[in-house]
Amino acid sequence: MQPEVQRACGVVGRCVRSVCAAAWAMGRRARGRRFQQPPQPEGEEDGSDGGRKRGQAGWEGGYPEIVKENKLFEHYYQELKIVPEGEWDQFMDSLREPLPATLRITGYKSHAKEILHCLKNKYFKELEDLEVDGQKVEVPQPLSWYPEELAWHTNLSRKILRKSPLLAKFHQFLVSETESGNISRQEAVSMIPPLLLNVEPHHKILDMCAAPGSKTTQLIEMLHADMSVPFPEGFVIANDVDNKRCYLLVHQAKRLSSPCIMVVNHDASSIPRLTVDVDGRKEILFYDRILCDVPCSGDGTMRKNIDVWKKWTTLNSLQLHGLQLRIATRGAEQLAEGGRMVYSTCSLNPVEDEAVIAALLEKSEGALELADVSAELPGLKWMPGVSQWKVMTRDGQWFADWHEVPQGRHTQIRPTMFPPKDLEKLQAMHLERCLRILPHHQNTGGFFVAVLVKKAPMPWNKRQPKVQSKSAEAREPRVSSHVAATEGNPSDLSELESQMITGAGDSVTAHTTENTESNEKKDGVCGPPPSKKMKLFGFKEDPFVFIPEDDPLFPPIEKFYALDPSFPRMNLLTRTTEGKKRQLYMVSKELRNVLLNNSEKMKVINTGIKVWCRNNSGEEFDCAFRLAQEGIYTLYPFINSRIITVKMEDVKTLLTQENPFFRKLSSEAYSQVKDLAKGSVVLKYEPDSANPDTLQCPIVLCGWRGKASIRTFVPKNERLHYLRMMGLEVLGEKKKEGVILTSESAASPEQPEDEEDAKQTAQDPCVPDSIPGCDAAAAEPSR
């Protein structure tokens, strides 16, 4: 190479390196500016002011403000005429406004009315004459169509909540009560599907696409409508295809402490058909209620997910239609005759809505029909479903009929996306019974709901796969039962289902024998499916091991707490097959049945509530296990010993002080506690109906009776909840002393204990929780 060329190459190389270095430095400075911005809270499910947050950041955060315009969106929906004439401008204006925040008070807990009373008479009253920046604050209003005033909406944004001390206190109340499971911050329209399911406590429910879990919690509440029944006959199986989102689902469900919820991880379009044991024979599990809230393009969520403005195209709907139809079909197959299935999307597009329903009704051949639910939610404004629509490609090309679609687009546009051509058949479908909620009618998001009732088995399931009883299975080879199940079922789904029913991969007799032997060795152990049966993704779950009847672990517990003979000990389980059992969980007998009969078909993420925790020094107190607050409301009806009845003043003392001495309790409580042996206790408050100004809901707390003092084991947010319900304003918490400061304790500060009492406290037996207000093993990962 010539020297001149070498020099030129060197100059060019240096220039390129300089440009790259400058670009890297600019990027670093931009990232630095981004990180210096105050952290913005992530959008909740209600997504109250997502649009405004992005707008405020502007270019400062490295992103331009999103313009809330999409000409293709407007052209598409104007052509489809889903918005009534003369309302288009209102419709578009409402889409550009931030979504109001909405909250729902959990309805099944006995103190829901107390929370409502507290909200209306304290927090809402304080907002009535409040002004922030010269603007009058709007007081929250109840949703007119939600029963018993248990759902409210407000236009307060997070920015406004931070500006006034009164509003900040209200915000703190919402956050704390949400963590306790007493309030759910949920978008208004997403509350509709569970209401239309008409759930009864005995219903078996499948939630097919459940995460993040707000609708699932509604279903759990409905199961526990009668709080005097600790174990309703029904249950909820909540499924999601995304392993990580399943753990979000677990977190939501755990707040309600129900033994009737199971979280599983499957593709909803091929969720396995389960079997249960009925009087010694296996029967297919059909669900009484199914919630089918499918993945969708989400153009009804533009008010909270402002990215939709920029990304929206009809291609999203065309790509999702097939999946939505497969999920709905799978749900219909597993629905019991006479059962009800709700199909819902947060999309306004008929391709995802009426097209799916019409295709499902057509292929059901009369087995399904749309229910008329127009009178079930009085006060809710909705538009009837449409019976005529067209399909548009992403480049704006319209097709009114499948026959107009060119061959090259047949993989993208399918026949089921169009309305049926037979007008008589179309009319008989009654698509007008579908509900479409438009944002401008009641200041909500956009939504679509259809309620389907099953009148007969689906046509391809007329001959249900035979399921052998246990005795028959023992007599006949498994191979023949597999053949009998699949014979005469030409459907591509049936063969798969029959394999699932008789046991995954049981076409080879050798494998079956192997599995039977291993099941005999590990009776009552419900582990994850073997890898050769099902490919697992995400985290490997611990097994679910039911406590055997002859386990020596249980009699000391039974004796210590004087458990009632009706206590369902067979429903106790642990999550380990070896070593010490540290936590004991409980499920309903119906979920136990499901777990034991389907461990090879399902990937179970979580089920059961924690009822007992091992205490490291528990053996010296006659019982190695102490009560867990998470499951106390389920367990309490069976406990006949170690119950201390306390008054309201006692509850205040116990919740605001870490280790109050016996003498600080009322004389009635003192007389009960002084003769008790050391160990775990139940603290029960019964409301006084003669004094309506006091707290009018029962409270059950877990505690520990020490040598000279007593303490509660209640999570912090739950403590704060009970204190608020008793009218105490929580001011803060002293970290070292573990004392919660309230308006009363601040007015009359505690006198220090004498040295002798302090020495006695130090000698009190220590239980695993060293942090006040935390339950045992609270630091462990959520199972």
Dist. CA 317–CA 312, nearest whole Å:
10
Dihedral angle over CA of 550, 553, 554, 557, nearest 10: 160
Dist. CA 529–CA 417, nearest whole Å:
37
Dist. CA 363–CA 493, nearest whole Å:
14
Dist. CA 128–CA 143, nearest whole Å:
18
Q: Is 346 a catalytic residue?
A: yes
Count of beta carbons in the 10 Å neighbourhood of residue 758: 12
CA 40 vs CA 29, 302, 707: distances in Å: 20, 19, 48
Do the bridges between strand 398-399 and strand 391-392 make them parallel or antiparallel, or are there none, so unpaired?
Answer: antiparallel
State whether residue 16 is helix, strand or coil: helix
Dist. CA 655–CA 702, nearest whole Å:
11
* Helix H or strand E encompassing 611: strand 609-614
Dist. CA 457–CA 440, nearest whole Å:
40
Residues forming a β-bridge with 262: 237, 607
Residue with tokens 């084991």: 713
Q: Is 156 exposed, middle or buried (0-12, 13-18, 19+ CB in 10 A)?
A: buried
Q: Are 631 and 777 in contact (CB under 8 A)?
A: no
User: Of 405, 420, 384, 390, whose CA–CA distance to 80 is shortest?
Assistant: 390
Residues forming a β-bridge with 709: 661
Dist. CA 333–CA 337, nearest whole Å:
10
Burial letters 356-386, b for 16+ CB under 10 A, else e: bbbbbbebbeebbbbbebeeebeebebbebb
What are the φ/ψ torsions at residue 732 (nearest 5 degrees)? 170, -170
Dist. CA 682–CA 696, nearest whole Å:
19
Q: CB neighbours of 35 closer than 8 A, spacing ≥ 6?
A: none
What are the φ/ψ torsions at residue 692 (nearest 5 degrees)? -65, -15
What are the φ/ψ torsions at residue 50 (nearest 5 degrees)? -60, -40
Helix 716-725, helix 648-656: angle, nearest 10: 150
Do the bridges between strand 447-454 and strand 368-370 make them parallel or antiparallel, or are there none, so unpaired?
Answer: antiparallel
CA 467 vs CA 274, 499, 501, 731: distances in Å: 11, 11, 7, 62
Residue with tokens 């008010």: 303
What are the φ/ψ torsions at residue 170 (nearest 5 degrees)? -65, -40
If you ran DSSP here, which 8-state letter would residue 123 be given? I
Helix 509-521, helix 478-486: angle, nearest 10: 120
| List 246, 292, 346, 623, catalytic entry | 346
Q: What is the DSSP string of 345-357?
A: ES---TTTTHHHH
Dist. CA 315–CA 19, nearest whole Å:
39
Dist. CA 664–CA 672, nearest whole Å:
13
CA 571 vs CA 440, 519, 548: distances in Å: 49, 19, 10
Dist. CA 170–CA 123, nearest whole Å:
6
Helix 214-223, helix 243-254: angle, nearest 10: 40
Q: Are 200 and 234 in contact (CB under 8 A)?
A: yes
Do the bridges between strand 383-384 and strand 435-437 make them parallel or antiparallel, or are there none, so unpaired?
Answer: antiparallel
Question: Which residues does the annotation mark as catalytic?
Answer: 346
